[in-house]
Structure 1
Amino acid sequence: MSAIPSGKTCPSVLLVHNRYQQAGGEDAVVENEAALLQARGHRVLRHERHNEELRQLPRWQGAAQAFWSAPTTHALDVLIEAQRPDLLHVHNTWPLVSPAVFWAGRRHGLPVVLTLHNARLLCPQALMLREGRPCTDCVGRLPWRGVLHRCYRDSAMETALVAGVTQLHRLLGTWSARVDRYIALSEFARQLFIRGGLPAGRIVVKPHFAEVPQRAEQPRQGLLFVGRLAEEKGLHLLALAAETLPPGECITVIGDGPLRATLQSHPRLRLLGAQPAPAVLEQMRRAQALVLPSLVFEMFPRTLVEAAACGLPVLAADHGPMPELVQHERTGLLFEPGDAASLGKALRRVLESPQDARRWGEAAREHQRAHWSAETNYLQLSRIYADLLC
C-alpha cells in the first residue's frame, strides 16, 4: 500500500533534527521515521545538530544560534545544492538548528514540514507545567507570564530567550508563511496549536507508530512505568499510589533522571534505570499494565503505542490527549489527573482483575494494528508529502 501514485518515484526527503543531550522519545521517532521511509524506497538525507555542541560554544554564541543559526543555514545550502531533495521535514529545532531552517528550505523552493513534538511554540518551557499542574497561560498570548514565573530552567533570562525566539519568528512570518504543513500528534494537540495561533488549514494529525516483534503470549505480572524520572512525569503520584498496593506488590520503573536518587529507596518501586529498547519491550510483554501519571499534556507518548503493540493496557491521567488515546475500560483505564488516590484505585483494579487487564491489552493491540502500525503511518506520511508535491 502506498499514497505515492504508481509510476512515480518516491520523493527524496531531507530530515532535520536537533538531538537532545539525553536521548529521548523525539530522537527515537526521527530514527523510526527515517527507517520507515528508507524501507519503502525513499532516499533519506539527514542534517543534525546535537546539544552536546553547546559545551564547546560561548553562551552568547549558543543564544545567537537559537535565533538564527548561520552554521545550520550554510550546511543546508551546501547539502541541498549537492543532493537536491524533494522535500524538507523538520523535527526539533531548539536550539542549534533554529527556525532559520524554514527560511533555507523555502529559499531553495522545497515544501517544508514540521512535526510538533512538544509545546515549545506555545510555551517557553515546552511542557506547559507550573506548580505541578498544566498551564496554558501563554497559549495564544505574549509569553510574559512565562518569563515572570521563570518557567524555563527557573531563569527569567533563559525563559525570555526561548520566548524571544518564538516571538521574533512570529513577527517575521516564519510560522505563518515558511512552514507548509504542521504535523500534530493528536487532535487535542492540533486544537491546542490552532488556539496558539498556527494556521488551522496547515495542521494535520499523524500519530506515532510502533513495529514490535511479536512473541507468544506469556503470564503477566506487575505494573510498569517507563520514562524520564522527572517532576512532570508524575513520579510523586506514582510513589504515593504505590504505597496503597497489596502486600508484596511493587511497580517496576525504567528510566533515569533527576528524581532517581529520591525514588531509589522507595520500598514499592523497583528501579531498573535506563534500559535498551529490547529490554523495555520485554518488560512490556510481562507486565499487566503501563502507568502514565504525567502532570503535563503529553502530545503522544511513544511508550503508549509500544505498550499497545505488546498487548499492554495503559493507565493514564484523564487530561490532554489521553481520553483520545486510551479508551476507558476498553484499552486501559483513565484516572483523575494529579490524584494519587484515583491512581491507586486504578492500579489495584488491574491487580485484582487480571482477566479485565488482559482483555484491555488485547483490545489495545488490535487498536495499534489498525491505527498505529508502520503501514498505516507510512500511508499518512506519504499522503502529507504527496499533497505538497502535487
Structure 2
Amino acid sequence: MRILSIHNNYQIRGGEDESRELEERLLQNMGHEVEVYQENNDRVPAINGLNLALRTVWSREAYNTVKQKLSDKAFNLVHVQNFFPLISPSVYYAAQAQGVPVVQTLRNYRLLCPNGLFFRDGKVCEDCLGKPIPYPGVQHSCYRDSLAASSVTATMITVHRAMQTWQEKVDLYITLSKFAREKFIEGGFPAEKIVVKPNFVAPDPGVGAGLGGYALFVGRLSPEKGLDTLLAAWEQLKNPMPLKIVGDGPLAGEVAKAAEKCPKIELLGRKPMAEVYALMGEAMVLIFPSKWYETFGRVAVEAFAKGTPVIAANIGAIAELVEHGRTGLRFQPGNAADLAAQVEWVLQHQKEWAQMRQEARAEYEAKYTAEKNYLKLMEIYALARTIGR
C-alpha cells in the first residue's frame, strides 16, 4: 500500500508523536510506502494571529498541498494522526476530492473539548460534551488559558460539526481504548465508524529484573497527571520506598520542592528512552496517578513490556489497561490515602507482586506487540477502503 500520513507535531514531544512515528516505521518495515506530510507547532509564534485562527478552521495551504500530493501519486489511503492547529480538517476534503479513503486516529478529545482533556480546575469536566457549540470552554478559557485561543478552537469544532465534517468526511476513526470510543459516541460521533486499536511498544525492550526497590513515575509534570496525589501519598507513607520522577512540565518546580523536603523523592527530569526503559525494568512498581480521562496510557504498556506492574488511578482508559490484582493495582483518582494504601500492599505482598510481574509481561505479549498491532491496523485499513469506495 501507499499511505499518506498527516501529523501536526507538538512543541514538546510527547506520546502522540512517538506513537505515530512507531506506526509509520512499522508500516515501512512491512513493505508499505509511507509518505509523511507534517507541520510543527514551532511555526506558530511566527504566524499572524488572524491567519493562525483562519488556518486552524480551514488551512488552504494544507488543502492544496495534500490535494497535489494525492494527484501526483496514487495513494491507497490517507491516515491523519493530528491536524491541530496548523493543518486543519481541510485535508479530509482534499482526500475526498481525490477519491482517497481517510482514517483519523483520535489521540485526544480535541474534537469534543477545546483543551482536549475534559479537565479543568484540577478535576474532570464534561461541560462541553455533546454541546453543538462548546461555549463553556470559551467562557473558562480552557485552551492555553487564553480566551482568544479557546474561541478559535471552539470555532473550529463548531464549524466542522455544522458542516457534518466528522460524520461525512472521515471513513473510519481509531480510538486507543474502549473508554475513549464511548466518549466520542456520547459526543455525537457515528459509532459504526469508530474502531479500537491500542498503541504498541516496539522494539521489544526486554524484561527487567525489578530489583531496584523503588517506585517510578514517568510523564509530563502537569496538573492532570496527578502529581499532587502522588506527592501527598508519599507524605502519608510511614516508611516509603524511594520514588523516582522522570519528566518535565509546569509542575517541575513543585516536584523539586517536594524532593528537597523528602529525601526519598528524586526528580530526574527528562531522560532518553533507553534510560527510561532501564529505570522501568528495575523499578518495583510504576505509578500512574492521572486525574483526567487518559485516552490510553502508553507509559503503563511500556512498563508491562519490562515486566513491571502498575498502580493506576481508576479512571479513563488507564483503568481499562490495568487489571486490579493481576497486572497491578488501582486506586480512587485523587485519593492520596488510597494510593498510599496500595503502595503499602505491594511492600507487604512481595510473593503476589512477583506473580504480577509475570502477568504484566504476558499482557504486553498478548496485546501490545508490533506484530499484533500490525494485523489490527491492516484490518482497519481494509475496512476503510471498503467504506470509502
User: Partners in 1 of 2:358 and 2:182 — Cα distance?
Assistant: 30
TM-score by length of 2: 0.95
Partner SS state of residue 287, structure 2: strand
Determine whether 1:170 maps to 2:161: yes
Partner SS state of residue 253, structure 1: strand
Q: Report what 2:359 is aligned to.
A: 363
Question: What one-letter code is carried by the residue in structure 1 that aligns with 2:12?
Answer: Q
Instruction: Give 1:35-50 correspondences, 5 Å limit.
Output: 35-50=25-40
User: Partners in 2 of 1:215 and 1:325 — Cα distance?
Assistant: 19
Partner SS state of residue 257, structure 2: coil
Deviations 1:18-63 (A, max 9, x none): 0000000000001100011011111011000000011221121111
Determine whether 1:208 maps to 2:212: no
Deviation at 1:216, TM superposition (A): 6.1
Question: Identical aligned pairs, as a percentage?
Answer: 41
Q: Report what 2:376 is aligned to.
A: 380
* Correspondence for 1:273 among 244, 254, 269: 269
Question: Number of paired residues?
Answer: 380
Q: Report what 1:182 is aligned to.
A: 173
CA contact (8 A) 1:241 1:340 kept: yes
* Correspondence for 1:66 among 53, 56, 61: 56
User: Partners in 2 of 1:309 and 1:246 — Cα distance?
Assistant: 31
Q: Report what 2:335 is aligned to.
A: 339
Q: Report what 2:17 is aligned to.
A: 27
* Correspondence for 2:237 among 235, 245, 248: 245
Deviation at 1:376, TM superposition (A): 0.8
User: Partners in 2 of 1:281 and 1:320 — Cα distance?
Assistant: 24
Query: Which segment is superposed worse, 24-33 or 355-364?
Result: 355-364
Query: Which segment is superposed worse, 131-140 or 245-254?
Result: 245-254
Gaps of 5+ in 1: 1-10
User: Partners in 2 of 1:152 and 1:218 — Cα distance?
Assistant: 40
Question: What one-letter code is carried by the residue in structure 2 that aligns with 1:335?
Answer: F
Deviation at 1:131, TM superposition (A): 2.2
Partner SS state of residue 267, structure 2: strand
Instruction: Give 1:190-201 correspondences, 5 Å limit.
Output: 190-201=181-192
CA contact (8 A) 1:117 1:299 kept: yes
Question: What one-letter code is carried by the residue in structure 1 that aligns with 2:351?
Answer: Q
Question: What one-letter code is carried by the residue in structure 2 that aligns with 1:385?
Answer: Y
Structure 1's consecutive aligned runs of 4 or more residues displaced over 4 angstroms after TM superposition are none
Q: CA RMSD in A?
A: 1.4
CA contact (8 A) 1:242 1:250 kept: no
* Correspondence for 2:125 among 125, 135, 140: 135
TM-score by length of 1: 0.94
CA contact (8 A) 1:289 1:357 kept: no
CA contact (8 A) 1:229 1:258 kept: yes
Determine whether 1:123 maps to 2:113: yes
User: Partners in 2 of 1:306 and 1:183 — Cα distance?
Assistant: 20
CA contact (8 A) 2:103 2:384 kept: no
Query: Which segment is superposed worse, 72-81 or 104-113?
Result: 72-81
Distance 1:218 1:317, change over 3 A: closer
Distance 1:216 1:265, change over 3 A: closer
